[in-house]
Amino acid sequence: MKKLVLLTSGIALCAGMASANEELMGLIDDPNQWAIQTGDYKNQRYSKLDQITKENVGDLQVAWTMSTGVLRGHEGSPLVIGDTMYLHTPFPNIVYALDLNEDGRIKWKYEPKQDPDVIPVMCCDTVNRGVAYADGKIFLHQADTTVVALNAETGEVEWSVVNGDPSKGETNTATVMPVKDKIIVGISGGEFGVRGHVTAYNIADGSQAWRAYSMGPDEDILIDPENTTHLGTPVGENSGTNTWEGDQWMIGGGTTWGWYSYDPEENLIYYGSGNPSTWNPAQRPGDNRWSMTVMARDADTGIAKWFYQMTPHDEWDYDGVNEMILTEQEWEGEQRKLLTHFDRNGLGYTMDRVTGELLVAEKFDPVVNWTTGVDMDPESDTYGRPEVVAQYSTEQNGEDVNSTGICPAALGTKDQQPAAYSPQTELFYVPTNHVCMDYEPFRVSYTAGQPYVGATLAMYPAPDSHGGMGNFIAWDNIAGEIKWSIPEQFSVWSGALATAGDIVFYGTLEGYLKAVDAQTGDELYRFKTPSGIIGNVMTYTHDDKQYVGILSGVGGWAGIGLAAGLTNPNDGLGAVGGYAALSDYTALGGQLTVFAVPD
C-alpha cells in the first residue's frame, strides 16, 4: 500500500499542474449545445431550453433526417458542438461530422477498419453509446476496445490506444467521459470472464494515467484499506480477493460498460460495476466483491473513496452499471449532495455521494420479488444487504434446477437506458422493464475468449399486471416512491430527456418518440420513426431555434432477435423469446430524426 500511495501522490501532483478543461465545462453549461452524452456531469439529462412547451409540443414536425448507413441497435445520441453535429453508429462505429449550417452536409467521416470477429464476442448486440468531445478532439471507444482521438475539425486520427483484448472477450459498447485532462474509459465482457476495470488516459497523448480493477489485490483496485469505506466502515486489506474462492477473482467479471458521472467540487467520479462471472452462483461462493458495486473514485489518482455493493453474491445477473444521477436536495431539513441510482435489481437507491451513506433503497417496480427489501439499520450485521427470498434464489434451488417467476428478469427493472431528472419537479423520469424470468444455472468451465455464462433463461411480461413489458415512471428519490406510471407494450429502452419546457421525452421499442407532461405524465405528442428506438433523446439550438434529436434503430439486448436474426427463444440470454412480438411492430433501421416546432 505504501508503494501505491507514493505512486498515486506523483500522479496527483502531475494532474494538479494541469488546468481543468474550461472549454468543455463551458460547453456543458451552455444549453444550446449538447456537449456530453449524459447532458452534463451530473447525468441529469435536463435541458434549460424552453422554446418547446406543453402548449406547442403537439406541433412538432420532422425538420430533417439522416440515414446512418448501418443496421442493428443504435444507442447513445449525437453531440452538438457549435455548428457541428457529431453522429456515431453501431459496429463498425462510423463517426460523421455534420455541418448544421448546410442542412447536415457531411464535413468528414471516420470509418475504422475493425476485425468482424469482434461481433460474436459482443454480449448483447453491436451497440455503441456515443462519442465524447474535449480539447478540440472527438473520442471514440470502438467495439474492439481501440480508443481513438479524432481532430474535431478534420476527423484525422491524433492518437489511438488499445484498451483490451477481444480474443479474451474484452470489447466495448460504452461512451467515454472527459474529466479535466483525462478521459475515463470502461470495458465490457462479463459474460466471457473478463475482469472489469476503469482506465484514465491523458487527453493530450493517450498515455495511461491510472487503471482501477473491480476486484483483485488492493494495489490493483486502487484502494487505501483504512480510508476506503463501505457504508462508513473501512473495507480493510484484501477486500477485493477475500470474498472469492482461490483466484476466481482473476476471471471475476465486474465489468464497467455503463455510464459515468463527476462532481468537480469533490473531484470524484461515480460509476457501477457489473455481474460476477459466471452466472452460476454455486461456482463462486462468497460476496464476490467488488462486483455489483457503486464506486466513488478520485478523478486524478483513481483511489477509491467509498464503495457500496448492492447485490452481494449476485444470483440473477443484476449488473450495477446503470447511471449515477447527482443532485443537491433537502434531506431531513438539510441540503445534501445526493446520488440516485436505479439498479438492474429493481431497487432505487438514494445515497450521500460525499460519504457513501445509504439513505433510501426501495423497489421502483412493485413486481420485484427476489428480495423483500434492504436492511436499513446501521447497527445490524446485515446493514445495507438485501434480504433474499429463498424461492427465487437460483443458488439455493440448485444447479440444473429451473427457478421460475423471478422478477425482474436478468435485463433488470432498468438496464443502461438512462433516466432524466428535472430540478423543476424534483422528480426522476425512468424508462423501465416490466419483465420476469425463469433461470436455470448449470456448471461451466472457463476458456479465454469463450462464453462463460452458465445459465439458461426465459423471459416474459410480469404476470397479473397490465400485460405489457415496460413502464415509464416518475420517481421521488426522497420518499422512494412512484408518482405516476405510463404502461408500455414493450420495455422502454430509450434514454429520457427532461426540459425547462416542463416536458419529458422518451422513445419506445416500436419506434415512437413521445413527449409527456413532466408533472402528470399525460401524453402530449407522439411520432413513429422508421425503426425501434433504443437511443437517447437530446436537444440543442441552431440559429436560435430549439431542436430535438433521436436515433432510431432497433436492437440492444431487448431487440437482439431482430438485430442478429435470432429465432431460438433461449438465444440472446433469453431475450429472443421474450421480445418475439416486437417483429410485428418494427424492423431494422439506422436513422437520425430531428424535430422542431415550425415558425
Catalytic site positions: 317
Cα 567 to chain centroid, rounded: 27
For residue 240, what are the CA distances in angstroms to 232, 312, 358?
A: 17, 13, 21
For residue 594, what are the CA distances in angstroms to 77, 175, 249, 288, 431?
A: 11, 22, 46, 45, 21
Contact assessment for residue 490 and residue 470, using Cβ atoms and an 8 Å cutoff? yes
Contact assessment for residue 82 and residue 540, using Cβ atoms and an 8 Å cutoff? no
Strand segments, DSSP code E, in 181-263 are 182-185, 197-202, 208-213, 229-230, 233-234, 261-263
Q: Strands 497-499, 46-47: parallel, antiparallel or unpaired by DSSP?
A: parallel
CA angle 503, 506, 512 (to 5 degrees): 120
DSSP helix/strand/coil, 203: coil
Burial class (CB in 10 A: 0-12, 13-18, 19+), 330: exposed
DSSP helix/strand/coil, 275: coil
Q: What is the largest CA-CA distance in the chain?
A: 67
Cα 528 to chain centroid, rounded: 25
Q: What is the DSSP string of 39-90?
A: SSTT---EE---SS-TTTGGG-EEEEEEE-S--S---S--EEETTEEEEE-S
- Which are the contacts of 246, defined by CB distance < 8 A and separation ≥ 6? none
**C-alpha count within 13 angstroms, C-beta hemisphere, residue 15:** 24
Q: Where on the phi/psi map is residue 356: left (φ > 0), alpha (ψ -120 to 50), or beta?
A: left
- Which are the contacts of 55, defined by CB distance < 8 A and separation ≥ 6? none
